[in-house]
């Protein structure tokens, strides 16, 4: 079931509310300072993500996972005797829309925290407003390295649940090394996601002595990738690191099929979605992508069962986006419990002291935690791998070391 419905009191055409238990229409009391919220009403948490358009395959499951966590916490009594309320706004992967959503959440809805969605460009646009209002932000899915930057003035209020690009690149470098590839090539889009990915790949691979043989780029939502694909083939690439989102990634596989070129491809996590499977079809069989849910870990298996029972497995085949949303709420809930529901600097300091050892994400023995200098949650050996087989992503391995 789709989690979103039009709000009965819609304040903007893009504003959508999650319609499961614990997610109600927001009030308009305001909390522009991001500090003490009313002790009588629900504790409001905002979520800004792509809930429609080309990035919805990441943003919607992320919201589903958050909604599931909110429901479970509320059924168990809430936080400090108060219910959680999740206010989700669709930014359509547009930075300007995302900034407007942020302003609404912090100035009208009185949220104590905002969870950021899958698109790095939108997170950069909305973080300035969120942190500027003194409200902590926890990035659930966006992975571009510089979203967490200790030199940025907003660092103290900005945290991330998911692993960053460099973390995934380190894990994938280990995979390339284990397979003995020597002519590794990159295809990436020209968005902040793709540009950041290329920079991370070159830096991490270079430090490990892995040479990048050739790099090709394409505009987002490309209509023809023949030139880039032929250039990679003619360069003698023996493997491809594909750092594009679902529509473009699918077009690349279909183009390879059309020119009769077969080469192993490892993709970024942006390809771990249902829309990529439907667009790529049989041409994409064999693609390997990183994931964050290990079905052999008890907590991972329990999450998969609970999520699929409520939403079905089709919308998030590796459960990465939904589990990251789920664990983001769990991290916030633990910190809010220690502040009695207060936001602002109290919540930021509480997050810095928060550790989640039984999350839905990560391998057995991994954890999510922050401290004053570390606002990236994943511990070492957090990432697993999935392979596209028989029309779905199937768990491949958790044996490859992960991390930067």
Do 133 and 184 belong together in one domain? no
Do 171 and 27 belong together in one domain? no
Asked if 250 and 219 touch (Cβ cutoff 8 Å), the reply is: no
Asked if 56 and 50 touch (Cβ cutoff 8 Å), the reply is: yes
Element (H, E) at 377: none
Do 14 and 44 belong together in one domain? yes
| Separation CA 260–CA 283 (nearest Å) | 11
The CATH number that applies at residue 224 is: 3.40.50.2300
Report pLDDT for 360. 98
Element (H, E) at 277: helix 274-280
| Separation CA 86–CA 81 (nearest Å) | 16
- Here the tokens at position 151 are 């030199």
Q: Does 74 reside within a domain? A: yes
- Here the tokens at position 356 are 């989640």
Q: For the purposes of burial, counting CB atoms within 10 Å of the CB of 180, is it exposed (0-12), middle (13-18) or buried (19 or more)?
A: exposed
Do 124 and 185 belong together in one domain? no
Q: Does 379 reside within a domain? A: no
Q: Which of 285, 288, 228, 235 is nearest to 262 (CA)?
A: 285
Report pLDDT for 403. 55
**DSSP 8-state symbol, 109:** I
Q: For the purposes of burial, counting CB atoms within 10 Å of the CB of 386, is it exposed (0-12), middle (13-18) or buried (19 or more)?
A: buried
Q: How far is CA 107 from the centre of its chain?
A: 25
Asked if 189 and 251 touch (Cβ cutoff 8 Å), the reply is: no
Q: Whole domain around residue 97: which residue ranges?
A: 4-163+296-373
- Here the tokens at position 33 are 């300072």
Q: Does 378 reside within a domain? A: no
Q: How far is CA 181 from the centre of its chain?
A: 28
Q: Which of 160, 166, 225, 156 is nearest to 190 (CA)?
A: 225
| Separation CA 280–CA 242 (nearest Å) | 13
| Separation CA 112–CA 31 (nearest Å) | 8
Q: What are the residues facing 376 on neighbouring strands?
A: 160
Do 141 and 279 belong together in one domain? no
pLDDT (tens digit, 0 to 9) for every residue of the chain, 404 residues total?
A: 333 333 333 333 333 333 333 443 333 333 434 444 456 799 999 999 999 998 999 999 999 999 999 999 999 999 999 999 999 999 999 999 999 999 999 999 999 999 999 999 999 999 999 999 999 999 999 999 999 999 999 999 999 999 999 999 999 999 999 999 989 999 999 987 899 889 999 999 999 999 999 999 999 999 999 999 999 999 999 999 999 989 999 999 999 999 999 999 999 998 998 999 999 999 999 999 999 999 999 999 999 999 999 999 889 999 999 999 999 999 999 999 999 999 999 999 999 999 999 999 999 999 999 999 999 999 999 999 999 999 999 999 766 555 55
Q: Does 59 reside within a domain? A: yes
- Here the tokens at position 219 are 């505009």
Classified as helix, coil or strand, 90 is strand
Q: Does 403 reside within a domain? A: no
- Here the tokens at position 73 are 């916490």
Do 247 and 361 belong together in one domain? no
Nearest 5°: CA angle at 54, between 52 and 56?
Answer: 45
> How many domains does the structure of the chain reveal?
2
Do 254 and 303 belong together in one domain? no
Q: Does 181 reside within a domain? A: yes
| Separation CA 340–CA 347 (nearest Å) | 9
Do 318 and 391 belong together in one domain? no
- Here the tokens at position 13 are 């055409």
Asked if 260 and 305 touch (Cβ cutoff 8 Å), the reply is: no
Do 125 and 245 belong together in one domain? no
C-alpha gyration radius of the chain = 20
Q: Does 105 reside within a domain? A: yes
Report pLDDT for 94. 96
Do 170 and 125 belong together in one domain? no
Q: At what angle do helices 165-179 and 192-207 cross, to 10 degrees?
A: 50
- How much is the pTM? 0.87
| Separation CA 370–CA 60 (nearest Å) | 26
Q: Count CB-CB contacts under 10 A for residue 182.
A: 12
Do 194 and 266 belong together in one domain? yes
| Separation CA 323–CA 203 (nearest Å) | 28
| Separation CA 3–CA 17 (nearest Å) | 8
Report pLDDT for 54. 87
| Separation CA 134–CA 157 (nearest Å) | 7
Do 25 and 138 belong together in one domain? yes
Report pLDDT for 40. 75
Q: Which of 59, 62, 29, 57 is nearest to 43 (CA)?
A: 29
Asked if 260 and 234 touch (Cβ cutoff 8 Å), the reply is: no
């Amino acid at each position: 079931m789709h989690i979103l419905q039009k709000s009965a009191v819609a304040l903007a055409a893009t504003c959508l509310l999650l319609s499961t238990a614990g997610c109600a229409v927001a009030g308009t009391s305001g909390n522009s300072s991001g500090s003490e919220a009313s002790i009588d009403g629900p504790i409001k948490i905002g979520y800004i993500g792509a809930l429609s358009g080309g990035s919805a395959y990441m943003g919607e499951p992320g919201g589903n996972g958050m909604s599931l966590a909110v429901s479970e916490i509320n059924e168990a009594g809430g936080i400090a005797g108060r219910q959680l309320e999740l206010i989700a706004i669709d930014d359509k992967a547009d930075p300007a829309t995302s900034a407007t959503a942020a302003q609404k959440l912090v100035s009208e809805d009185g949220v104590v925290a905002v969870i950021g969605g899958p698109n790095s460009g939108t997170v950069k646009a909305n973080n300035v407003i969120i942190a500027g209002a003194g409200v902590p932000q926890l990035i659930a899915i966006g992975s571009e390295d510089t979203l967490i930057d200790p030199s940025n003035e907003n660092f103290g209020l900005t945290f991330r649940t998911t692993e960053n690009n460099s973390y995934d690149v380190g894990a994938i470098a280990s995979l390339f090394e284990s397979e003995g590839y020597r002519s590794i090539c990159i295809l990436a889009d020209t968005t902040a996601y793709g540009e950041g990915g290329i920079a991370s790949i070159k830096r991490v691979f270079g430090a490990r002595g892995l040479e990048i043989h050739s790099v090709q780029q394409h505009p987002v939502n490309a209509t023809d990738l023949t030139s880039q694909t032929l250039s990679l083939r003619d360069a003698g690439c023996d493997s491809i690191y594909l750092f594009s989102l679902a529509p473009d990634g699918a077009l690349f596989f279909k183009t390879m099929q059309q020119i009769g070129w077969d080469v192993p491809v490892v993709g970024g996590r942006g390809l771990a979605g249902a829309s990529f499977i439907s667009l790529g079809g049989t041409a994409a069989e064999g693609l390997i992508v990183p994931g964050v849910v290990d079905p052999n870990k008890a907590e991972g298996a329990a999450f998969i069962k609970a999520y699929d029972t409520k939403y079905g497995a089709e919308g998030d085949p590796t459960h990465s986006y939904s589990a990251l949303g789920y664990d983001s709420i769990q991290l916030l809930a633990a910190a809010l419990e220690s502040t009695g529901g207060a936001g602002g600097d109290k919540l930021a300091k509480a997050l810095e002291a928060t550790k989640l050892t039984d999350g839905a994400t990560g391998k057995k023995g991994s954890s999510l935690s922050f401290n004053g200098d570390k606002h990236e949650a994943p511990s070492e050996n957090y990432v697993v791998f999935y392979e596209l087989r028989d029309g779905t992503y199937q768990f491949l391995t958790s044996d490859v070391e992960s991390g930067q």
